[in-house]
Amino acid sequence: MGLVSTPEKRFADIDGYPYEPQFVDVGGPEMAYIDEGSGDETFLCLHGEPTWGYLYRKMIPTLAKEGRVVVPDFVGFGRSDKYTDREEYSYAMHYDSLVAFIEALDLDNITLICQDWGGILGLPVAANHPDRFARLVPMNTGVPSGNQEMPEAWEDFRSFVERADELPIGMLIQNATATELSEETLAAYEAPFPEEEHKAGAREWPDMVPRKNGGDGADVTQAAAKRLAEWEKPAFVLFADSDPITSGDRDPLRDLIPTASDQPDIWVEGAMHFLQEDAGKEIAEEIVAFVRRTR
């Protein structure tokens, strides 16, 4: 079991993310996070594959005017510690580290903002710890049954990740973003991964998705779906209109959570999988409006 940390100098020139990182032990590895703003509202922003907290940089200023904004990097990503062996990554490891993170910071009255793996992990954590969560904002994500067929676009993505000798993090993000990203932005997404050994978590996450004949964590996601079917607190399902991987999960998720239909039935136009890049400010404004109307 090897743990490595990305040298801080890799983050020295990150554009648009001037926040001072903090660190918390989650049972061996340390998770990095930023903590901005203050107030009774807590926005917990969870990223997915293969990004890090930087993905939320366009949303943080708007959210921080409304409350406290906590943006962690999952183990294996961003400034957090990284296992160099793919076998060290499991659904249980990520789930337990997220619970440990929330408990260590004693977060409550949380509005969960989650995308991709941020939702596959974050929604079950919320379902199992409802006293800490006030609202849900799932974006381009889902609660996999473990029995579902995956879209062709996802199968192509997973196959590419498995066979690539060197994993091109920036290219993966650009291919799933409608916005043309600058060289500085692409460099920021590449920054956490100075060597291929740092990318073990990014390589493992695609194959870990609970699905028919594969993945990990289906027992947790299936149980969480049953609890979310009885969720009584506000939920706002907010998906991009041009994501070939998760768009089919939007309506089932909106139907699953009873309170989701109380909120506007909208799509984020002109956005792809990484909708935080394509429409970050617009999404943050939608979320603030959601919080204000559900207090």
Q: Which two tokens stand for residue 36?
A: 């901005």
Q: Check 81, 216, 243, 249 and give the catalytic one.
A: 243
Bridge partners (DSSP) listed for residue 32: 23
The one-letter code for the residue type at 105 is: L
Q: Check 81, 116, 249, 278 and give the catalytic one.
A: 116
Q: How far apart are CA 252 and CA 247, in angstroms?
A: 10
Give 56's Cβ-side CA count (13 Å radius): 30
Q: Check 47, 94, 198, 273 and give the catalytic one.
A: 273
- The yes-or-no answer on residue 243 being catalytic is yes
Terminal Cα-to-Cα distance of the chain (whole angstroms): 45
The 10 Å Cβ neighbour count of residue 166 is: 7
Whether the CB-CB separation of 84 and 106 falls below 8 Å is answered with: no
Q: Helix (H, G, I), strand (E, B), or coil: what is residue 245?
A: coil
Whether the CB-CB separation of 266 and 236 falls below 8 Å is answered with: no
Q: Which two tokens stand for residue 123?
A: 């929604």
Q: How far apart are CA 194 and CA 202, in angstroms?
A: 13
Q: Which two tokens stand for residue 92?
A: 């249980």
Q: Which two tokens stand for residue 7?
A: 């040298």
Instruction: Output Rg (C-alpha) for the chain, integer angstroms.
Output: 17
The 10 Å Cβ neighbour count of residue 91 is: 21
Q: How far apart are CA 13 and CA 108, in angstroms?
A: 33
- The yes-or-no answer on residue 15 being catalytic is no
The one-letter code for the residue type at 167 is: L
Our measurement of the distance from residue 95's CA atom to the centroid of its chain's CA atoms, rounded to an integer in Å, reads 12
Q: Which residues are catalytic?
A: 116, 243, 273
